[in-house]
Structure 1
Amino acid sequence: MSKGLSGKVALITGGAKGIGRGIALRLAQEGMHIALVDLHEDKLKATQAEIEACNVKASIFVADISQLDQVTAAIEDAYSKLGSFDVMINNAGIAQVQALNDVTPDEFRQITDINFGGVLWGIQAAAKKFQTLKQKGKIINACSIAGHEGFAMLSVYSATKFAVRALTQAAAKEYAHSGIMVNSYCPGVVGTDMWVEIDQRFSKLTGAKIGETFKKYAEGIALGRTETPDDVAALVAFLASEDADYITGQSIITDGGMVYR
């Protein structure tokens, strides 16, 4: 068990499925109460039931994390329903596979509003709540190996993740005096719906067979297997715990050995 998590409250954006769901279940198993935020109410309710089966409390809130007022409302809802607010996990994000020459203004705005804007507003709203409560807190952001190395056909996606890494460093410096620690986790190739979409998009743009792009990237993993949401969740649980109280401003790669920094 990770140190100091039992009884605390974590809010997870994009918590209804994929990596977010994996993080939610891991933290629930550690004894944390979980506030789930997502756009999909049916999937939120399904994950809520799984969390409550761990004998902890769970709340759900439908919100668009690209909108500051909705992120702020989600935090207030979590605090009201669960009685505390200790860890903010800015997990929600989207992938976008597109040749650099063909990126449209609408595509640019969509991915930056969600992947970068969603993290910015999550950091800001969480920090303000921690400061209002006059307490320390943890903010943990979804970055990526693409925040350490840009990938072809994932140009703007990579740029948003580089931006998250920079924002993580800057926020850690700004909020350290308030006892707020800010870090990021950087997954590699995770077997979730997002990678199914990435693979399908690569197939459409490059002519690769379905499954070929996923296989190509997976074969480059030193540890010999693709990543699972549980692998990501293990790092997040550590960063949320008291064992990570002297770590801030870091974007930690958890990819099984793909990108080395």
Structure 2
Amino acid sequence: MSIEGKVVLVTGGGQGIGRGIALRLARDGASLCLVDINRPAIDAVAGEIAALGGKATTFVADVGDREQVHAAIDHAESTLGGFDVMINNAGIAQVQPLSEVTEEEIDRILRINVKGVIWGIQAATAKFVARGQKGKIINACSVAGQDGAAMLGVYSATKFAVRSLTQSAAKEFASRGITVNAYCPGIVDTGMWEEIDERFSAVTGAPRGTISKRAIDGIALGRMETPEDVAGLVAFLAGPDSDYVTGQSIMVDGGMVYR
């Protein structure tokens, strides 16, 4: 079933997985609010949506700032005439041995990957309640939120936190008709993965592409994931066919981690 006419906000909507999600939901008939710190990037994606015959608005915000997240949702509602689905997609990666990670590095990734999700949950639920309606919240987790990964210790910790927040929020807001779920991608062909590959090479001394080959060799379906692969699951979670699903962090990794 489609989500035609629904208003969906996607954080980190200017590139990578966020862009893939936005384009898929636009094709399914949703109106999109694209949120990112990169104005040219979200404007470009909004242009792609317009070319598809869809409707999109953009809002520049830092998801680590609580007030900016609330303002983004207010913008989505006032500009698009409603608010139905919150996708907390924005996040950053970090490749660093636990023995070397600094306080500044920890604070930065926690601010975006954990606080950003909390602010998104808070702002979305407040808006759903104010509007007297049900709603859906969808968070970005990861295979690293299912199995801790060497050299990705703090990043993995943030994604384990997203799983916990997803479960807790699902329990807290179920009585209001708000579902909360998460998607757990694997090795996705995006700029973020290129950064991870490059950083692994710098830290370990292995040639570029070594970690990518090792990771892809461990995928049962035998190929790197695309943003469109992730977007298919998110489209299900955003639509009515998932109305009885809540508190779940669902793998979409081509067969890497089995739960």
1:191 aligns with one of 159, 167, 189? 189
* Deviation for aligned residue 1:245: 0.2
Deviation string 1:151-195 (CA, Å, 9 cap, x unpaired) is 000000000000000000000000001100000000000000000
The match for 1:23 is: 21
* Deviation for aligned residue 1:224: 0.6
Aligned residue runs from structure 1 range 4-15, under 5 A: 4-15=2-13
1:48 aligns with one of 37, 46, 49? 46
Partner of 1:125, secondary structure, is helix
Which runs of no fewer than 5 residues in structure 1 stay unpaired?
Answer: none
The match for 1:245 is: 243
With the length of structure 1 as denominator, give the TM-score of the two structures.
0.98
1:164 aligns with one of 152, 157, 162? 162
Give me the whole-angstrom Cα distance separating, in 1, the residues matched to 2:54 and 2:132. 25
* Deviation for aligned residue 1:4: 4.2
Aligned residue runs from structure 1 range 67-86, under 5 A: 67-86=65-84
Give me the whole-angstrom Cα distance separating, in 2, the residues matched to 1:51 and 1:212. 36
Give me the whole-angstrom Cα distance separating, in 2, the residues matched to 1:4 and 1:171. 25
**Contact 2:2 2:28 survives alignment (8 Å):** no
**Contact 2:218 2:256 survives alignment (8 Å):** yes
Partner of 1:194, secondary structure, is helix
Which runs of no fewer than 5 residues in structure 2 stay unpaired?
Answer: none
Deviation string 1:188-221 (CA, Å, 9 cap, x unpaired) is 0000000000000000000010111111111100
Deviation string 1:203-244 (CA, Å, 9 cap, x unpaired) is 000001011111111110000111000000000000011000
Give me the whole-angstrom Cα distance separating, in 1, the residues matched to 2:57 and 2:97. 40
Give me the whole-angstrom Cα distance separating, in 1, the residues matched to 2:40 and 2:159. 28
Runs of 4+ that moved beyond 4 A = none
Give the fraction of aligned pairs with identical amino acids, expressed as a percent: 63
The match for 1:207 is: 205
With the length of structure 2 as denominator, give the TM-score of the two structures.
0.99
Partner of 1:232, secondary structure, is helix
Cα root mean square deviation, aligned: 0.5
Give me the whole-angstrom Cα distance separating, in 1, the residues matched to 2:239 and 2:52. 19
Partner of 1:127, secondary structure, is helix
The match for 1:227 is: 225
Give me the whole-angstrom Cα distance separating, in 2, the residues matched to 1:39 and 1:259. 32
Deviation string 1:22-48 (CA, Å, 9 cap, x unpaired) is 000000000000000001101111000
2:86 aligns with one of 88, 94, 104? 88
Give me the whole-angstrom Cα distance separating, in 2, the residues matched to 1:129 and 1:77. 12
Aligned residue runs from structure 1 range 30-45, under 5 A: 30-45=28-43
* Deviation for aligned residue 1:130: 0.2
Deviation string 1:117-176 (CA, Å, 9 cap, x unpaired) is 100100010000000000000000000001110000000000000000000000000000
Partner of 1:74, secondary structure, is helix
Could you tell me which amino acid in structure 1 is paired with residue 80 of structure 2?
L
**Contact 2:2 2:29 survives alignment (8 Å):** no
